[in-house]
Protein backbone atom coordinates (compact mmCIF):
# COMPACT_ATOMS: atom_id res chain seq x y z
CA UNK A 1 0.00 0.00 0.00
CA UNK A 2 1.30 3.42 -0.98
CA UNK A 3 0.84 5.09 2.41
CA UNK A 4 1.30 2.13 4.73
CA UNK A 5 1.50 3.36 8.34
CA UNK A 6 1.82 7.01 7.26
CA UNK A 7 0.00 9.60 9.37
CA UNK A 8 -2.08 11.95 7.23
CA UNK A 9 -3.79 15.10 8.49
CA UNK A 10 -6.53 16.31 6.14
CA UNK A 11 -8.41 19.58 6.69
CA UNK A 12 -11.95 19.93 5.42
CA UNK A 13 -12.13 16.13 5.48
CA UNK A 14 -15.78 15.74 6.50
CA UNK A 15 -17.17 16.07 2.98
CA UNK A 16 -16.40 16.48 -0.70
CA UNK A 17 -12.83 16.18 -1.92
CA UNK A 18 -11.45 15.99 1.63
CA UNK A 19 -13.65 13.04 2.51
CA UNK A 20 -12.83 11.26 -0.75
CA UNK A 21 -9.14 11.81 -0.04
CA UNK A 22 -9.51 10.33 3.44
CA UNK A 23 -11.13 7.20 1.98
CA UNK A 24 -8.47 6.81 -0.71
CA UNK A 25 -5.67 7.31 1.81
CA UNK A 26 -7.29 4.83 4.20
CA UNK A 27 -7.46 2.18 1.49
CA UNK A 28 -3.74 2.72 1.00
CA UNK A 29 -2.78 2.15 4.62
CA UNK A 30 -2.71 5.66 6.09
CA UNK A 31 -3.59 6.51 9.66
CA UNK A 32 -5.83 9.55 9.55
CA UNK A 33 -6.66 12.76 11.36
CA UNK A 34 -9.98 14.04 10.03
CA UNK A 35 -10.04 17.79 10.70
CA UNK A 36 -13.15 19.83 10.02
CA UNK A 37 -15.37 22.55 11.45
CA UNK A 38 -18.46 20.33 11.07
CA UNK A 39 -18.26 17.96 14.04
CA UNK A 40 -21.27 15.85 13.07
CA UNK A 41 -20.08 15.14 9.53
CA UNK A 42 -16.51 14.72 10.74
CA UNK A 43 -17.43 12.07 13.28
CA UNK A 44 -19.58 10.30 10.67
CA UNK A 45 -16.58 10.19 8.33
CA UNK A 46 -14.41 8.71 11.08
CA UNK A 47 -17.00 6.01 11.75
CA UNK A 48 -17.11 5.14 8.04
CA UNK A 49 -13.35 4.82 7.94
CA UNK A 50 -13.20 2.71 11.08
CA UNK A 51 -15.80 0.33 9.66
CA UNK A 52 -13.43 -0.14 6.73
CA UNK A 53 -10.68 -1.11 9.17
CA UNK A 54 -8.81 2.20 9.05
CA UNK A 55 -7.34 4.01 12.03
CA UNK A 56 -8.87 7.47 12.20
CA UNK A 57 -9.59 10.27 14.67
CA UNK A 58 -11.59 13.49 14.40
CA UNK A 59 -10.44 16.96 15.45
CA UNK A 60 -12.75 19.95 15.24
CA UNK A 61 -10.94 22.95 13.82
CA UNK A 62 -11.48 26.40 12.43
CA UNK A 63 -8.38 26.74 10.26
CA UNK A 64 -8.59 30.53 10.39
CA UNK A 65 -8.06 30.40 14.16
CA UNK A 66 -4.42 30.00 15.15
CA UNK A 67 -5.22 28.47 18.56
CA UNK A 68 -7.53 25.89 16.94
CA UNK A 69 -4.84 24.95 14.43
CA UNK A 70 -2.19 24.44 17.09
CA UNK A 71 -4.59 22.33 19.14
CA UNK A 72 -5.29 20.23 16.03
CA UNK A 73 -1.60 19.61 15.39
CA UNK A 74 -0.92 18.90 19.05
CA UNK A 75 -3.75 16.34 19.09
CA UNK A 76 -2.39 14.62 15.98
CA UNK A 77 1.12 14.39 17.44
CA UNK A 78 -0.19 13.21 20.82
CA UNK A 79 -2.11 10.40 19.14
CA UNK A 80 0.39 9.30 16.48
CA UNK A 81 3.72 10.88 17.53
CA UNK A 82 4.30 12.24 14.01
CA UNK A 83 2.66 13.76 10.92
CA UNK A 84 3.81 12.46 7.53
CA UNK A 85 1.30 14.12 5.20
CA UNK A 86 -0.68 17.35 5.43
CA UNK A 87 -3.47 18.01 2.94
CA UNK A 88 -4.63 21.63 3.12
CA UNK A 89 -8.06 20.99 1.67
CA UNK A 90 -10.37 23.21 3.74
CA UNK A 91 -11.89 26.09 1.80
CA UNK A 92 -14.97 28.24 1.29
CA UNK A 93 -16.49 30.40 -1.45
CA UNK A 94 -18.31 33.71 -1.19
CA UNK A 95 -18.78 34.78 -4.81
CA UNK A 96 -19.58 38.25 -6.08
CA UNK A 97 -18.58 40.66 -8.82
CA UNK A 98 -15.84 43.12 -7.87
CA UNK A 99 -18.16 46.14 -7.63
CA UNK A 100 -20.63 44.26 -5.42
CA UNK A 101 -18.34 42.10 -3.29
CA UNK A 102 -18.95 42.62 0.43
CA UNK A 103 -15.64 43.37 2.20
CA UNK A 104 -16.72 40.97 4.96
CA UNK A 105 -16.93 38.17 2.39
CA UNK A 106 -13.47 39.09 1.13
CA UNK A 107 -12.17 38.77 4.68
CA UNK A 108 -13.92 35.42 5.29
CA UNK A 109 -12.47 33.76 2.21
CA UNK A 110 -8.98 35.14 2.79
CA UNK A 111 -9.09 33.98 6.42
CA UNK A 112 -9.99 30.36 5.60
CA UNK A 113 -8.43 29.74 2.20
CA UNK A 114 -5.17 31.66 2.57
CA UNK A 115 -4.43 32.43 6.21
CA UNK A 116 -5.73 29.00 7.21
CA UNK A 117 -3.31 27.30 4.83
CA UNK A 118 -0.46 29.37 6.27
CA UNK A 119 -1.43 28.54 9.86
CA UNK A 120 -1.76 24.80 9.19
CA UNK A 121 1.45 24.53 7.19
CA UNK A 122 3.50 26.53 9.67
CA UNK A 123 2.32 24.38 12.59
CA UNK A 124 2.84 21.09 10.75
CA UNK A 125 6.21 22.14 9.32
CA UNK A 126 7.43 22.63 12.87
CA UNK A 127 6.67 18.93 13.40
CA UNK A 128 8.06 17.73 10.08
CA UNK A 129 11.38 19.57 10.17
CA UNK A 130 12.68 17.66 13.22
CA UNK A 131 11.44 14.44 11.57
CA UNK A 132 13.53 15.24 8.50
CA UNK A 133 10.71 14.31 6.13
CA UNK A 134 7.10 14.93 5.21
CA UNK A 135 4.72 15.88 2.43
CA UNK A 136 2.58 19.02 2.26
CA UNK A 137 -0.20 19.18 -0.35
CA UNK A 138 -2.19 22.34 -0.99
CA UNK A 139 -5.56 22.77 -2.67
CA UNK A 140 -5.14 25.35 -5.42
CA UNK A 141 -7.62 25.69 -8.31
CA UNK A 142 -7.76 26.18 -12.04
CA UNK A 143 -9.15 29.65 -11.32
CA UNK A 144 -6.00 30.45 -9.37
CA UNK A 145 -4.09 29.99 -12.62
CA UNK A 146 -6.46 31.73 -15.02
CA UNK A 147 -8.92 33.85 -13.00
CA UNK A 148 -12.71 33.69 -12.97
CA UNK A 149 -15.51 36.23 -13.13
CA UNK A 150 -17.19 36.83 -9.79
CA UNK A 151 -14.47 35.21 -7.70
CA UNK A 152 -12.00 37.97 -6.85
CA UNK A 153 -11.60 36.73 -3.27
CA UNK A 154 -11.43 33.02 -4.10
CA UNK A 155 -9.00 33.54 -6.99
CA UNK A 156 -6.78 35.71 -4.80
CA UNK A 157 -6.53 32.92 -2.24
CA UNK A 158 -5.82 30.17 -4.76
CA UNK A 159 -3.21 32.26 -6.57
CA UNK A 160 -1.71 32.95 -3.17
CA UNK A 161 -1.65 29.25 -2.34
CA UNK A 162 0.27 28.58 -5.55
CA UNK A 163 2.82 31.22 -4.62
CA UNK A 164 3.15 29.86 -1.09
CA UNK A 165 3.59 26.34 -2.44
CA UNK A 166 6.56 27.40 -4.54
CA UNK A 167 8.06 29.42 -1.69
CA UNK A 168 7.71 26.59 0.81
CA UNK A 169 9.18 24.14 -1.69
CA UNK A 170 12.34 26.27 -1.73
CA UNK A 171 12.43 26.61 2.05
CA UNK A 172 11.46 23.08 3.10
CA UNK A 173 12.93 20.95 0.31
CA UNK A 174 16.44 20.98 1.82
CA UNK A 175 14.89 19.74 5.06
CA UNK A 176 13.41 16.67 3.38
CA UNK A 177 9.85 17.99 3.05
CA UNK A 178 8.12 17.94 -0.34
CA UNK A 179 5.50 20.60 -1.11
CA UNK A 180 3.11 20.49 -4.05
CA UNK A 181 -0.32 21.77 -5.03
CA UNK A 182 -3.25 20.34 -6.95
CA UNK A 183 -5.38 22.62 -9.10
CA UNK A 184 -8.81 21.02 -9.64
CA UNK A 185 -11.08 22.00 -12.49
CA UNK A 186 -14.86 21.66 -12.30
CA UNK A 187 -15.55 18.96 -9.71
CA UNK A 188 -18.92 17.50 -8.77
CA UNK A 189 -19.22 18.16 -5.04
CA UNK A 190 -22.10 19.11 -2.78
CA UNK A 191 -21.44 22.71 -3.74
CA UNK A 192 -21.69 22.17 -7.51
CA UNK A 193 -24.65 19.81 -7.18
CA UNK A 194 -26.73 22.79 -6.07
CA UNK A 195 -26.02 24.69 -9.29
CA UNK A 196 -28.63 24.85 -12.08
CA UNK A 197 -28.26 22.12 -14.69
CA UNK A 198 -27.67 24.76 -17.38
CA UNK A 199 -24.60 25.98 -15.51
CA UNK A 200 -23.32 22.42 -15.10
CA UNK A 201 -23.84 21.81 -18.83
CA UNK A 202 -21.69 24.86 -19.62
CA UNK A 203 -18.97 23.52 -17.34
CA UNK A 204 -19.04 20.19 -19.18
CA UNK A 205 -18.88 21.94 -22.55
CA UNK A 206 -15.79 23.89 -21.49
CA UNK A 207 -14.03 20.70 -20.37
CA UNK A 208 -12.49 18.74 -23.28
CA UNK A 209 -13.32 15.41 -21.60
CA UNK A 210 -16.95 16.58 -21.55
CA UNK A 211 -17.60 15.66 -17.95
CA UNK A 212 -17.17 17.11 -14.50
CA UNK A 213 -14.52 15.62 -12.29
CA UNK A 214 -15.38 13.50 -9.28
CA UNK A 215 -13.86 14.04 -5.82
CA UNK A 216 -12.00 10.75 -6.27
CA UNK A 217 -10.18 12.19 -9.30
CA UNK A 218 -8.56 14.76 -7.02
CA UNK A 219 -8.08 12.28 -4.19
CA UNK A 220 -6.04 9.98 -6.43
CA UNK A 221 -3.85 12.91 -7.46
CA UNK A 222 -3.21 13.63 -3.78
CA UNK A 223 -2.45 9.95 -3.22
CA UNK A 224 0.18 9.92 -5.95
CA UNK A 225 1.82 13.12 -4.72
CA UNK A 226 1.81 11.86 -1.13
CA UNK A 227 3.44 8.57 -2.09
CA UNK A 228 7.10 7.73 -2.59
CA UNK A 229 6.35 7.36 -6.30
CA UNK A 230 6.37 11.16 -6.43
CA UNK A 231 9.63 11.50 -4.49
CA UNK A 232 11.19 13.82 -7.11
CA UNK A 233 8.09 15.98 -7.68
CA UNK A 234 8.47 19.18 -5.71
CA UNK A 235 7.14 22.71 -6.04
CA UNK A 236 4.69 21.58 -8.73
CA UNK A 237 1.11 22.60 -9.41
CA UNK A 238 -0.73 19.61 -10.87
CA UNK A 239 -3.82 20.55 -12.90
CA UNK A 240 -6.55 17.93 -12.60
CA UNK A 241 -9.20 19.46 -14.81
CA UNK A 242 -10.11 17.20 -17.73
CA UNK A 243 -7.98 19.26 -20.10
CA UNK A 244 -9.62 22.56 -19.25
CA UNK A 245 -6.36 24.49 -19.17
CA UNK A 246 -4.05 22.89 -21.71
The domain that holds 87 is classified in CATH as 3.40.50.720
Domain-located, residue 1: no
**Per-residue pLDDT tens for 82-108?**
999 999 999 999 999 999 999 999 999
Quick one: pLDDT at residue 189? 85
CA dihedral for 133, 164, 137, 181, sign (positive or negative): negative
Domain-located, residue 245: no
Q: How far apart are CA 159 and CA 180, in angstroms?
A: 14
Quick one: pLDDT at residue 122? 98
Banded pLDDT at 75 (limits 50, 70, 90): very high
Q: How far is CA 107 from CA 35, 157, 166, in A?
A: 22, 11, 24
State the total domains in the chain: 1
115 pLDDT higher than 80: yes
Q: How far is CA 127 from CA 45, 130, 156, in A?
A: 25, 6, 28
185 pLDDT higher than 80: yes
Banded pLDDT at 61 (limits 50, 70, 90): very high
Banded pLDDT at 193 (limits 50, 70, 90): confident
What average pLDDT does the segment 195-224 reach?
A: 90
Quick one: pLDDT at residue 246? 59
Q: How far apart are CA 172 and CA 168, in angstroms?
A: 6
Banded pLDDT at 190 (limits 50, 70, 90): confident
Domain-located, residue 29: yes
- Average pLDDT over the chain reads 96
Write down the pTM of the prediction: 0.95
Quick one: pLDDT at residue 244? 84
Question: For residue 15, what are the domain limits?
Answer: 7-240
Helix (H) or strand (E) holding 9, with range, is strand 7-11
Quick one: pLDDT at residue 192? 74
Q: How far apart are CA 105 and CA 120, in angstroms?
A: 21
Contacts for 10 with CB less than 8 Å, ≥ 6 apart: 18, 21, 22, 25, 32, 33, 34, 35, 86, 87, 89
| From 67, 119, 146, 154, active-site residue | 154
What average pLDDT does the segment 150-164 reach?
A: 97
Measured at the CA of 222, the angle between CA 33 and CA 238, to 5 degrees, comes to: 145
Contacts for 152 with CB less than 8 Å, ≥ 6 apart: 96, 98, 101, 106
Banded pLDDT at 220 (limits 50, 70, 90): very high
Range 190-204 burial, b when 16+ CB lie within 10 A, else e: eeeeeeeeeeeeebe
Q: Is 154 a catalytic residue?
A: yes
Domain-located, residue 126: yes
Domain-located, residue 246: no
Can you tell me whether residue 159 is helix, strand or coil? helix
Can you tell me whether residue 180 is helix, strand or coil? strand
196 pLDDT higher than 90: no
Amino acid sequence: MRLHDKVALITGAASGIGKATAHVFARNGARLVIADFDEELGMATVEELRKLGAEAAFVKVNVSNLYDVQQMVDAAVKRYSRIDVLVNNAGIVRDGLLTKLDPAEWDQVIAVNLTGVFYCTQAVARVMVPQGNGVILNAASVVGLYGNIGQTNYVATKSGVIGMTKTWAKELGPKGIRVNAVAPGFIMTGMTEQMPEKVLDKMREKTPLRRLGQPEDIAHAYLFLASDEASFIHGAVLSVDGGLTF
